[in-house]
A = this chain, B = another copy of it.
Amino acid sequence: MKYSKLFPKSQKIEFKEDLSVNAKYLVKGGFMNQLMAGSWTLLPLGFVVVEKIKNIVREELNKTGAQELLMPLLHPREIWDTTGRWSDPEVQKIMYQFKDIHDKEYGLSFTHEEIVMNLLGKFVQSYRDLPVMVYHFSTKFRNEPRAKSGILRAREFMMKDLYSAHVSEEDMYEYYNLVKEVYVKIFERIGLSVIVTEASGGVFTKNVTHEFQVLSDSGEDEIIYCPEGDFSQNVEIAKVKEGKQCDLGHGPLKRAKVIEVGNIFPLGTKYSKDQKVFYTDKDGSQKEIWFASYGIGPTRVMGALVEVHHDDKGIIWPKTVAPFQAHLLVVSSQKSVVRTADDIYTKLEASGVEVLYDDRDVSAGEKFATADLLGIPHRLVMSEKTGDKIEFKKRNEDKTELLQFDELIKRLKEETEG
């Protein structure tokens, strides 16, 4: 894609507020734009990043046998009354609830447990119909008292929520533990190293749940964890203290700020009981369904990625989620150089390389600054000095190399697939 055609371009903005790094870079770079506090438009660059995150999540969840669907966002009060959550003061703080002009009461989705259990009630009769694992990517609304930290804590955001229903606690935990492993793999592929952390279930469950936490000083959560990796608890539930030895005799426990990028909840039979959704077992008896839910917020993940992968010039996207693989810059106004660069751009596209081509009539300095800000993994420069070769540089390294076109294609392939 030609940068001259992209909507919008990056902007020079001096932020007044003490904004988070992810908000600064994502807004300056034209990845997202604020509609109101806590509400963001994903601009074309940000949209692509989120789509790539979603596709990784989708691939890995499909491998577990989960199936994608799409549930409504506007919910009737009646279904939320079945579990009593409609009237829970903690829920009412964050759930948008309202009456329409016909006095019918609705809530906006902040999660979908009740809706999924209601759906299961229509289709699950016997043990043969279980397990069911379904997920969707959809909008969530949470009236956060303090919407801040850029896209990390928003009032409207995208969430992948997966729900699983099982015949027994054992079956539920088997799948729950599988998803726990799959989540670690998902985040690894996305470019985030996560610490699996024990936590409370908030308005979802009284059981111990697990959060997927990324170390970052901009995080709002805190954990007590063993850096050797066999223990981590959210400080909200931690009974051990910083400095103590870990149970397995590893180094002293540390306390750190973290960003929560995912969480999983072994909900048990509460929803089945409350909503009166049962299945018939082999012996003909009516039994409760074991239920669990699993969340990942792709927009929050994008914010977390920027918090973790950046320098003082801009973003450094992991190649798996970068909006483009190569950023081609022509830094000359000589017609012959521009013509050669145009050719290379055409040939890169024809070779299937995801390339952003900065074809604007602006200074070399501005183009280099934009490349650093946008954070595309591979920068390609063509100038009067490069001739028919292309200067290749990785966003996270200083070293430059001059490559022939064929070498470049080979190199990009290695870097992207490797």
A72 / chain B contacts, CB cutoff of 8 Å: 35, 39-41, 156
Contacts A72-B40, A73-B156, A76-B35; A6 near B99 (Cβ below 8 A): no
A26 to B: closest C-beta gap in Å: 13
- Is A83's CB within 8 Å of the partner chain B? no
Interchain nearest-CB distance for A271 vs B (Å): 16
Contact status B44-A67, CB under 8 Å: yes
Enumerate chain B residues within 8 angstroms of A47, measured Cβ to Cβ.
Answer: 68-70
A207 interface residue per 8 A CB criterion: no
Given contacts A76-B36, A119-B33, contact A70 B98 (CB under 8 A): no
Chain B nearest CB, measured from A106 CB (Å): 8
For the complex formed, measure the closest distance between the CB of A379 and the CB atoms of chain B, giving whole angstroms: 23
Known: A65-B5, A67-B7, A100-B143. A134 touches B44 (CB 8 A): yes
Chain B residue with Cβ nearest A116: B41
A122-B33 contact, Cβ under 8 Å, with A67-B44, A139-B139: yes
A36 to B47, CA, bound (A): 31
Q: Are the CB atoms of B67 and A6 closer together than 8 Å?
A: yes
| Chain B neighbourhood of A203, CB < 8 A | none
Say yes or no: A74-B141 contact (C-beta < 8 A), given A35-B115, A68-B47: yes
Q: Summarize A's interface: helix, strand, loop or mixed.
A: mixed
Within 8 A of B (CB), among A1-58: 5-9, 11, 33, 35-36, 39-44, 46-47, 50
Bound-state CA distance A310–B307 (Å) is 52
A408 at the interface (CB under 8 A from B): no
User: Are A39 and B122 neighbours in the complex by a CB distance under 8 Å?
Assistant: no
Contacting B at CB under 8 A, from A258-291, are: none
Task: Compute how far the CA of A42 lies from the CA of B158 in the bound complex, rounded to whole angstroms.
Answer: 17
A123 near B74 with CB under 8 A, answer no
CB-CB contacts below 8 Å: A79-123 with B: 79, 92-93, 96, 98-102, 106, 108, 115, 118-119, 122-123
A349 to chain B, nearest CB (A): 13
Q: A71 in the interface, Cβ–Cβ < 8 Å?
A: yes
**Shortest CB–CB separation between residue A267 and chain B, in angstroms?**
18
Q: Which of A6, A96, A99 has the most CB of B within 10 A?
A: A96
Is A155 an interface position by the 8 A CB rule? yes
Q: Given A7-B134, A36-B76, A119-B33 in contact, is the A69-B98 Cβ separation under 8 Å?
A: no
For A70, give the chain B residue with the smallest CB separation. Answer: B42
Distance in angstroms from A258 CB to nearest chain B CB is 27
User: Which A residues between 139 and 183 are near B, CB-CB below 8 angstroms?
Assistant: 139, 141, 143, 155-156, 158
With both beta carbons as reference points, the residue of chain B lying nearest to A118 in the complex is identified as B35
A402 at the interface (CB under 8 A from B): no
Cα distance A40–B46 in the bound complex, in angstroms: 29
Tell me if B70 and A41 are in contact (CB < 8 A).
yes
- A75 interface residue, CB < 8 Å from B? yes
- Cβ of A164 to closest chain B Cβ, rounded Å: 11
Q: Name the contact of A98 in the complex, choosing from B33, B96, B123 (C-beta under 8 A).
A: B96
Q: Which of A44, A71, A72, A134 has the most CB of B within 10 A?
A: A72
What would 10 more interface pairs be, CB under 8 Å, given A44-B68, A139-B139?
A5-B65, A33-B122, A35-B71, A35-B75, A35-B79, A36-B76, A42-B70, A74-B96, A93-B101, A102-B143
Which 3 A-B residue pairings sit nearest by Cβ, starting from the closest? A98-B98, A8-B123, A42-B70
Chain A residues with a Cβ under 8 A of chain B: 5-9, 11, 33, 35-36, 39-44, 46-47, 50, 65, 67-76, 79, 92-93, 96, 98-102, 106, 108, 115, 118-119, 122-123, 129, 132, 134, 139, 141, 143, 155-156, 158
List 14 A–B pairs whose Cβ atoms lie within 8 Å, in order of A's numbering.
Answer: A5-B65, A8-B123, A9-B123, A35-B71, A35-B115, A40-B72, A42-B69, A47-B68, A47-B69, A73-B73, A73-B141, A74-B155, A101-B143, A139-B139
